[in-house]
Structures are given as C-alpha cells and as structure tokens.
Amino acid sequence: MTRKIQFREALNEAMCEEMERDERVFLMGEEVAYYNGAYKVSQGMLERFGARRVVDTPISETGFAGLGVGAAMYGLRPIIEFMSWSFCLVAADQIINNAPKMLYMSGGQFKVPIVFRGNNGAGGQLGSTHSWAVEAMFASVPGLKMAIPSTPRDGKGLLKTAIRDDDPVFFLESERMLGFGARGDADFSRYLHDDRWAPPAAEEDKEFLIPFGQADIKKEGADCTIVALGRPVHFALEAAEQLEKEGIDCEVIDPRTIRPLDIDTIVRSVRKTNYCVVVDQSWPFASIASEIAAQVYEQALDDLDNKIIRVNNDDVPAPYARNLEQEMLPNAKKIIEAVRAVTYRA
Amino acid sequence: MTITSEPDTHTSGQPSDRLDAAALLSMLGEMLLIRRFEERCAQSYQQAKIGGFCHLYIGQEAVAVGSISALRDDDPIITAYRDHGHALARGMDPRLAMAEMFGKVTGCSKGKGGSMHLFDKEHHMYGGHAIVGGQCPLGVGIAFGIQYQQEDKVCVCYLGDGALNQGAFHEAMNLAAIWKLPILFVVENNQYSMGTHIARGTSMADDLSVKAGAYGMRYAECDGMGVLKVYDCFAKAAEQTRAGEGPCLINVETYRFKGHSMSDPQKYRTKEEVAEFEEHDCIQRLRRRLLDRHLATEEQILDLDEKAKKLALEAVKFAEESPATPVEEMFTDVYSQPFEPYRRGEAAEGFRE
Ligand SMILES: Cc1ncc(C[n+]2csc(CCOP(=O)(O)OP(=O)(O)O)c2C)c(N)n1
C-alpha cells in the first residue's frame, strides 16, 4: 500500500525528523512559525519544536540569510526558508558570495552546513519579479550544492541529505508541486505509481536518505532520452505517455541534483537511445540545459544520431497573462514536438 | 567626543584601573607588533611579494587591541578586510598571517584568502570579510548561535564607517535588536571610506547615536586613539551585553595614518590633517602614560619595540621561505563533503583542530 502524501508533507517530515535527530538544526524564515508557513510546509513545526527552533523573521532576506551563514560557521545547522527563491536576490551577497566560499577562503577552517530552500520557478501568473527559476544563475558557483526534487519521495530523501550535508545546499522546491499528491494517483503520472511517489514514514525508516549526485530514471525507455529536473519531470512524463502511444519509447532521467551532476547516468542512457532532449525551466542562454547538452556532446558525440534539442523557458521575462505564461514555460506539447523532431518523426 | 592627545587622564572607577603594569605593557607590545607588522606588509607589497589589495591598520591599533583585551579569549570576533590588526590582537601567529599574504601554503588559509580574508578558528576569529557590510549579518548569526546554545559569550562585529550605509548593516542591526542578541557592532570610525569623508556619505555623521536609537539599541562611543579608553568602553559594553542587555553600537573615533590601500594618492585629505592626527598616535599615548606613571622604563619599551620588529621580520622571513601553495590545493576546501573533481582539504598546519 503506497502512502498518500503531498509534496509539502514530505518536506515537513524531512525537517521534523532531522530536527528530532539533531538539536543544532533549526528552521528560520518569513512566516515559518506562527503562520505555519506561507505555503504550509512548516505546518505544526512551531508547536512541536518551539520558537527557539522555528523562528519567524522580519522581511529581511540579507539579514536572515546572512545570519544563517554566520550561525553555520559557529556550528549550528540552519534551514533558511525563502518564501520564494525570487526573493533571495536581495540576499545574493550572503548566499553566493559568503556561504559557498567560506570554506575555501578560510583554507578549510570554516565550513557552512546550511540549507537554503523555497519555491522556485513560475508559481502561476505572478509576473516576472516573482517567477524566477534560479538554477541556471546559481549552479555555476563552486562551493554550493543544488538539489531540485520532483517527487515527495525525492523531496524527503534529498532534504534529509541536504540537512546532514556539511556544505551549503540550495534546495529548490516548486509552489506548483507542493499540493501534488492531495488527490492521490490522479495527481501524477502512472510511471510514478507504487513506491515511486511516496517516501517511507519515520516509523518505517528514519534513515531514508537519497545521496546527492545520483540520477533517477523516472521511466525506462529505448528510443529517446529526456532529461528533466523538478516540475518539468512531470511534463516529460506526460509527454512520454503520449509518445508511447505513437510508438516512441522515451527514457526520462531526473538528475535530482545539479551540483553534483550525475552525467554518467545521462550519458549511459544516450548511448542506449542515441537521441537526447533536455528540458529546463530556466532561460535557454547559459542554462542548465545548455550545460547538460554540452557535457553530453563532450562525452557521447559519436553515440548521438541527431543534435540535442533543448526545451527551455522562452527567452523573455515571465509574462503575467495566463496564455502567455503557459506558452513561455516548457510543457508536454513542446517536449513531444522536440522528441518527434530529434528522432526524425516530425 | 573628540580625540585628544592628553596622556589618558585618570578618571577613577574605570575597568582599566585594574590593569597592572604587565597588562599595560602587553597591550603596548601588541600595538607595536601590529605597527611593525604593517610596516613590513607595506614594504613587502612594494616589493611585489604581496599582491591584490592590502589595507593597513596603522593608526587604528588601539581599537583592535583595546577592544580585544576587554573580551574573553573565546568571545568570537568578525571584521572587514582591514583585518591584520584584529588577527594579530587575537593571537594569530604573525608568521602565518604574513605567509597568507605571500600566498603560501603555510598561511592561515593556505594562500586561498589573502590579506582581506584572514581566518583563525582556534582564536575565534571568524574572518576578514571584503564586501563592505557583508560581515554584519554573519556576526548576527554568530550571536544567534551563542544565544541558541545559551552560552555566556559576546560576539564583536567590526565595521568601517563606510559600512554604515549598507543595507546589510541595517538588517543586521534590526535582527540583533528584536532578538536581543549578544553582539557589539563596532564602527571603526576613521572618518573616511576610501576618499569619501563620512560627512559626505553618511546622514547624521556627527551623531551616530541616532543609528542605534533607530533600533532601540544601546550606544557607546570612545576615543579610539586611547587604548585604555577603548578598553573601558568595551569592558562596560561587553559586561552589559553578557548580562543579557542585548546588542550595542559602539562608535570608536579613530584615524588611519596611511592610504586606504597601498595605491592611494590621498588627494582627499591634507598632509596637515594627517600630521595632526599622528600627534595623537595611540602607541605614543600609552608609552607616555607608562613613563609618566613610572610603570615602565624607556628601556623596557624599547625592548618591546625591538621584539615587535623582530617578530615582524621573522614573519617576512618565514613567509619568504615557505613553499608556494601546491597547485594540487586548487581543488581542496571547495567542499567539506566533496565530489569529483574536488578533494577534501586539510587546514594549514597551525590551524588544524
Ligand atoms: C559592497 C562593496 N562596495 C565597494 C567596495 C570597495 N571598497 C572597499 S573598501 C571601501 C571603503 C570602505 O570604507 P570603510 O567602511 O569606512 O572602511 P575603512 O576602509 O575605513 O576601514 C570600498 C568602497 C567593497 N569592497 N564592497
């Protein structure tokens, strides 16, 4: 019997289990305590752990993100919640100049075990300031790690790993996915049924940790590799269902973490299928998709029977209008077209 | 409050009353060490043995020495990029500080940080930080850690007067105030941020108490050319903070005798202005006090200076003779739990736990 669990509940479980396990772990951010989380990810945590460990902050990202870095240098293990990654930009100096470089600049003396987490990517008609997908912008910074889960199972396993990790982890969630799972199987692809969706509960396994740098093959297939992370994994699976009907058997690979990136699993898949489409919810220029495509070209050029196609956001600020926003984002239709084109079936 | 050249006039009932001759001599020795060390830095920079940006602390020695003398050894400190003085006052081996600037593997950060980023975990020195104001939220985080673990420590966060105008400073002040965190924000007010006089860049420059007032925070100020004035101010402020009275903003009036960095023609101030402040030199002031009160002899003081010169020279020699940082170190210390192509690093010899 699979557990019925929403994405936000899985994240909550991860934090609660790790806070039970380690007194140094605390959660801090805007509205995480009394409000129970702007998106209810921290529901019940104030009641359970008290105001010392579940800390509401003023709207002061530079202040509390930097506080987290200092506290981590001092030996605590902060989880800093950004209501949205779109709001982290005012704290850029703290999160990309301080956190990931402290260990290096101090010659190995000060590590920074911190998790920055929050919603990433378009939330739904929020306009351009609120619709950042920050992965491409930050993934190039050495010293940080980055995880982008696509299922509650991965969310829980990766977040527990992130909290135990001794390095700064950028953990990118999606507002659009937090409620996934509320309606049970109807919410997600049939490829994710059975144990692929839900993580084990604490009673079953307190040590449910998913290591960084291990891609997950969300669907096996022989004809074309689709690489996707985070919410686009679901678009890719939707596309795969459609394409299956057309006789194209896609393999959907979810790297789950970008730093470290499990390029080996991707390359192995491309060697098998000889075709590759990369889906990415950030802008195309110097993007995650560009990077993955470049690495696949470097390692498997001879195995490719066509160029790689990238399915990115359109290269514009996120528009407000519903139709424009949907058109701008990667979606199943665009992925289907890309797969057809790359496998010469267009 | 104005800077005076008086040998510190005695007001009784000050914490510094308890300092005996040995303690005063030790403070003088530390200031001399910083002065001589900085002179060697300047020389080595001119010889191109030190690269990058290098900001000397000459003139401000009393701030680091007076404040750190008033703290406990395990009170954490954090500062900006003008950090040599704090590192030395905290007890960092001058050889390892110099080797860092020479970019050698024996340096405190194995040559990966440089002059502006000196760290010494063992001595609770949480770094020099080179983005103006960026260290303020970090300091608040350290203070949060102290409070979280219910420890009896006080974090001291130094900043230049230029940092008063950074958002990071104000956010840090607010967080420290609402949570009553055990932190002292110390403005090393040397009047200039590079070439900008504080009055040109900072509102209410002649009354910084309003900055604290805006956050309902305690405020103190002192004459930063008098090491005992600094000591007294910090002893009191730290005691109050340790007693649970929350953060305090301390405005220390000081002056840097040299340029902002090593390449500063100093067109923004007159030679006369600099000369006037040099009259108030913190080292001379303490020296006069010791002599006037017969707490030390001229000879003892000369000895101290010789010792400081020797340590500074030895630091240069050590740095020169140390091996360059091997290229293999490039990929260490990026991650604590590394993945390909990174490797785990080991802190420089003097800094291993
Ligand atoms: C955010 C940022 N802007 C600009 C600089 C360049 N810069 C380095 S030091 C400095 C002046 C800072 O003066 P102050 O804070 O008064 O410290 P002082 O040099 O007097 O010790 C400037 C503008 C910087 N390092 N960081």
The DSSP secondary structure of A108-170, one letter per residue, reads TS-----EEEEE-S--SS--GGG----HHHHTT-TT-EEE---SHHHHHHHHHHHHH-SS-EE
| Nearest atom in ligand 1 to B130's CA | 25
DSSP-assigned states of every residue in A278-312: EE-SS-STT-HHHHHHHHHHHHHGGG-SS--EEE-
A225: helix, coil or strand? strand
At B104, list the tokens: 């050698």
Cα B156 to Cα A88, A112, A314, B242, distances in angstroms: 27, 20, 48, 12
Whether residue B345 and residue A108 make contact (CB cut-off 8 A), yes or no, is yes
A109, B347 in Cβ contact below 8 A? yes
- Collapsing DSSP to helix, strand or coil, B62 comes out as helix
Closest CA to B7 of B335, B276, B229, B169: B229
- With CA atoms as reference, report the closest residue to B145 among B80, B68, B78, B211: B78
Q: How many Å apart are CA A183 and CA B337, to the nearest integer?
A: 38
pLDDT score of A244 more than 90? yes
| CA-derived radius of gyration, chain B | 20
Query: 3-state DSSP call for residue B189?
Result: strand
- In terms of C-beta distances under 8 Å and separation of at least 24 residues, what long-range contacts does B297-306 make, across chains too? B300/B25, B301/B25, B301/B28, B304/B25, B304/B28, B304/B29, B304/B32, B305/B32, B305/B36
Q: Out of B109, B134, B168, whose CB is closest to A106? A: B109
In one letter, which amino acid is B340? E
All structural domains of chain A: 7-196 (3.40.50.970), 216-342 (3.40.50.920)
Report the pLDDT value the prediction gives residue B8, as an integer from 0 to 100: 57
Ligand 1 first shell, C-beta below 6 A:
B 82, 130-132, 160-163, 190, 192-194, 260
pLDDT tens per residue across all 353 residues of chain B = 455 555 555 567 999 999 999 999 999 999 999 999 999 999 999 999 999 999 999 999 999 999 999 999 999 999 999 999 999 999 999 999 999 999 999 999 999 999 999 999 999 999 999 999 999 999 999 999 999 999 999 999 999 999 999 999 999 999 999 999 999 999 999 999 999 999 999 999 999 999 999 999 999 999 999 999 999 999 999 999 999 999 999 999 999 999 999 989 999 999 999 999 999 999 999 999 999 999 999 999 999 999 999 999 999 999 999 999 999 999 999 999 999 999 999 999 989 87
Q: Are the Cβ atoms of B337 and A166 closer than 8 angstroms?
A: yes
Q: Are strands A224-227 and A250-254 parallel, antiparallel or unpaired?
A: parallel
Q: How many residues does chain A have?
A: 346
For every residue of B31-46, DSSP letters joined together read HHHHHHHHHHHHHHHH
Catalytic hit among A9, A13, A61, A173: A61
C-alpha distances in Å from residue B108, one per residue of A171, B82, B91, B314: 32, 16, 12, 16
What is the Cα–Cα distance from A185 to A181, expressed in whole angstroms? Answer: 7
Q: Are A70 and B144 in contact (CB under 8 A)?
A: yes
Chain B (57-96) residues lying within 8 Å, Cβ to Cβ, of chain A: 76, 78
- How close does chain B come to A333, measured CA to CA in Å? 36
Residue burial B97-124, b: 16+ Cβ < 10 Å; e: rest = bbbbbbbbbbbbbbbbbbbbbbbbbebb
Cα–Cα distance list, A195 to A1, A12, A183, A185, A191 (Å): 9, 19, 16, 12, 10
Cα–Cα distance, A330 to A318 (Å, whole number): 12
The domains of chain B are located at: 15-322, 327-353
pTM of the shown model: 0.97
* Partners of residue A29 on adjacent β-strands: A56, A81
Tell me the C-alpha distance between A78 and B267, whole Å. 46
In angstroms, the CA B323 to CA B45 distance is: 18
Burial class of residue B126, CB neighbours in 10 A (0-12, 13-18, 19+): buried
The string of pLDDT tens digits covering residues A180-239 is: 999 988 889 999 988 899 999 999 999 999 999 999 999 999 999 999 999 999 999 999
The architecture that CATH gives domain B15-322 is 3-Layer(aba) Sandwich (3.40)
Ligand 1 centroid–CA A96 distance in Å is 19
Ligand 1 atom closest to the CA of B256, numbered from 1: 20
pLDDT recorded at residue B12: 74
Per-position DSSP letters for A65-98, written without gaps between them = HHHHHHHHHHT-EEEEEEEEGGGGGGGHIIIIII
If you average pLDDT over residues A148-152, what whole number do you get?
A: 98
List, in order, residues 6 or more apart from A229 with CB less than 8 Å away: A135, A148, A150, A254, A255, A256, A258, A280, A288
**Contact at 8 Å (CB) between B306 and B32?**
no
Q: Which residue has the tokens 């005012």?
A: A90
Q: What is the pLDDT of residue A185?
A: 87
Residue B2 pLDDT: 52
Q: Of B189, B138, B201, which Cα lies nearest the Cα of B165?
A: B201
Phi first, then psi: what are they for B216, rounded to 5°? 60, 35
Instruction: List Cα–Cα distances, B103 to A280, B123, B321, B341, in angstroms.
Output: 41, 21, 12, 23
Residue with tokens 């084109």: A341
What gap in Å lies between CA A211 and CA A219, rounded to an integer?
Answer: 19
Chain B residues lying within 8 Å of A62, measured CB to CB: 137, 167-168, 171
Residue A270 has pLDDT above 80, yes or no: yes
Considering only the beta carbons, identify the residue of A75, A94, A142 that sits closest to B137: A94
B91 CA → ligand 1 middle, Å: 25
8 Å CB contact between A49 and B148: no
Closest C-alpha to A218, from A279, A307, A288:
A279
> If contacts are CB pairs under 8 Å, which of residues 170-199 in chain B contact chain A?
171-172, 174-175, 178
What is the spatial distance between Cα A191 and Cα B155, in angstroms, rounded to a whole number?
53
- Report pLDDT for A3: 87
- Distance, CA of A241 to CA of A244 (rounded, Å): 5
- Residue in chain B lying closest to A74 (CA): B142
The catalytically annotated residue of A9, A130, A175, A234 is A130
Chain A / chain B CB contacts < 8 angstroms: 163
Residues A168-180 have a mean pLDDT of 96
- Asked if residue A266 has pLDDT above 90, the reply is yes
H/E element, A237: helix A232-245
